């Protein structure tokens, strides 16, 4: 099965973005989607069928950078564990030769947060993402996908309590990406995925700036059922915030390894990856470890 787009990073995004909202002079990672966990074939959706994905991931950080990328001298730490269930339906219906698909992500997030003299933890439902639709194409040497998604503020949100799992606003997300297989046996893969978030105003009249995330993955099949690779991402706020005055735009890079294993007799796919962030400006800089299970139903 082709590697499908994942939304595991939305879980970490919810926790991380919430945790830094109490540090307005340092960072406010206000995007719903966080890069780095899509995998080595991030832009490849699976063929027609029903699938169920289970995301399990941990994010941890003890550093916040200022506008110039220097570490802020602050007693800060955040650890978040997240699990999300994502049913996926790729239909036989085609638009312009591509298969139409639908999916929804329901995340549950535990966050332990500390900054200065503030310390708290919380577990709860995060913001739900509905992707309607996706369109995916599969050629002899490429995969290509387009998608539209909307994020709903279903998680509990309180700007004065950064451990809460919700964000407090709606977001639209546009997706476009492709995977190229340079050899006939598809042993090698190169994938690039772009997502653009357009954020809506929250109940307090604040609108976060829009966010661009570009992810890449380079993979090599080492046998029929296992693949090794490197994943990376770049995330950048592209427009000013509104409602509380303009602020500089945050950004962050990330890179790390991945191993993916297929279990054909169970119709299951398991991937594990690690991403280390660097070059952060006006945001946190941390680490992500994730295990994702995909089952064809």
The verdict on residue 186 lying in a domain is yes
- The predicted structure's pLDDT at residue 203: 77
* Helix (H), strand (E), coil (C) string for the chain: CCCCCCCCHHHHHHHHHHHHHHCCCCCCCCCCCCCCCCCCCCCCCCCCEEEEEEEEEEEEEEEEECCCCCECCCCEEEEEEEEEEEEEEEEEEEECCEEEEEEEEEEEEEEEEEECCEEEEEEEECCEEEEEEEEEEECCCEEEEEEEEEEECCCCCCCCCCCCCCCCCCEEEEEEEEEECCCCCCCEEEEEEEEEEEECCCCCCCECCCEEEEEEEEEEECCCCEEEEEEEEEEEECCCCECCCCCCCCEEEEEEEEEEEEEHHHCEEEEEEEEEEEEEECCEEEEEEEEEEEEEC
Q: Give a yes or no: residue 87 inside a domain.
A: yes
Q: Does 101 reside within a domain?
A: yes
| Torsion-angle region of 158 (φ positive above 0: left; ψ -120 to 50: alpha; else: beta) | beta
**For position 110, which CATH number holds?**
2.40.128.130
Measure the CA dihedral 198/142/191/49, to 10°.
Answer: 70
pLDDT at 113 over 80: yes
In a domain, 52, yes or no: yes
Check pLDDT > 50 for residue 108: yes
Residue 1 domain flag: no
* Per-residue confidence (pLDDT) for residue 178, from 0 to 100: 98
- Cα dihedral value 90, 93, 96, 99, nearest 10: 10
Number of domains in the chain: 1
**Mean pLDDT in residue range 22-33:** 52
Distance CA 230, CA 241 (A): 33
Residue 4 lies in a domain: no
**Reported confidence tier of residue 245, pLDDT bands at 50, 70, 90:** low
Question: What's this model's pTM, rounded to 2 decimal places?
Answer: 0.87
Domain of 77, in residue numbers: 9-296
Q: What is the pLDDT of residues 132-163, one digit of tens each?
A: 999 999 999 999 999 999 999 999 988 788 88
Q: How many CB atoms lie within 10 A of CB 30?
A: 27
Q: Which of 13-22, 103-112, 245-254 has the highest mean pLDDT?
A: 103-112
Q: In terms of DSSP bridges, do strands 128-138 and 251-263 run parallel, antiparallel, or are they unpaired? A: unpaired
pLDDT at 5 over 80: no
| pLDDT tens digit sequence for 207-239 | 889 999 999 999 999 999 999 999 999 999 999
pLDDT at 100 over 80: yes
Instruction: Give the CA radius of gyration of the chain.
Output: 18
Name the more confident of 93 and 158: 93
Cβ atoms of residues 236 and 33 within 8 Å = no
pLDDT at 244: 62
| First CA to last CA distance, the chain | 13
Per-residue pLDDT of 191-210, as tens digits, reads: 999 999 999 998 778 888 99
Region class of 53: left (phi > 0), else alpha (psi between -120 and 50), else beta: beta
Q: Please give the average per-residue pLDDT across 15-38, as a whole number.
A: 54
Q: Pseudo-torsion of CA 158, 162, 166, 168, nearest 10°?
A: 50
Query: What is the per-residue pLDDT across 42-91, written as a single tens digit (0 to 9) for each?
Result: 999 999 999 999 988 888 999 999 888 999 998 999 999 989 999 999 99
Average pLDDT of the chain?
Answer: 87
pLDDT of residue 249: 81
Q: Residue 33's pLDDT is what?
A: 86
Among 16-20, 231-235, 273-277, the minimum mean pLDDT is found in 16-20
Short-list 80, 121, 68, CA closest to 286: 80
């Amino acid at each position: 099965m082709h590697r499908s787009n994942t939304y595991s990073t939305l879980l970490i995004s919810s926790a991380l973005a919430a945790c830094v909202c109490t540090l307005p002079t340092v960072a406010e990672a206000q995007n719903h989607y966080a890069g780095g966990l899509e995998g080595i074939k991030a832009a490849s959706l699976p063929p027609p069928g029903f699938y169920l994905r289970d995301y399990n991931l941990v994010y941890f950080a003890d550093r916040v950078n200022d506008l110039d990328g220097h570490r802020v001298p602050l007693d800060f730490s955040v650890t978040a564990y997240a699990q999300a269930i994502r049913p996926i339906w790729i239909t036989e219906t085609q638009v312009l030769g591509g298969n139409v698909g639908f999916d929804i992500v329901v995340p549950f997030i535990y966050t332990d947060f500390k900054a200065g003299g503030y310390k708290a933890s919380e577990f709860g439902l995060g913001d739900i993402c509905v992707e309607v639709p996706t369109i995916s194409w599969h050629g002899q040497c490429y995969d290509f996908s387009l998608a539209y998604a909307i994020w709903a503020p279903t998680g509990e949100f309180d700007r004065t309590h950064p451990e809460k799992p919700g964000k407090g606003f709606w977001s639209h997300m546009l997706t476009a990406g492709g995977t190229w297989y340079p050899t006939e046996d598809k042993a090698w893969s190169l994938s690039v995925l772009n997502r653009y978030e357009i954020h809506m105003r929250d109940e307090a009249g604040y609108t976060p700036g829009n966010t661009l995330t570009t992810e890449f993955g380079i993979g090599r099949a080492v046998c029929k059922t296992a693949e090794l690779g490197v994943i990376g991402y770049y995330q950048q706020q592209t427009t000013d915030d509104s409602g509380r005055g303009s602020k500089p735009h945050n950004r962050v890079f990330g890179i790390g390894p991945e191993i993916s294993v297929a279990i054909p007799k169970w119709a299951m796919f398991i991937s594990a990856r690690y991403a280390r962030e660097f070059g952060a400006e006006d945001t946190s800089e941390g680490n992500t470890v994730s295990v994702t299970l995909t089952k064809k139903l």
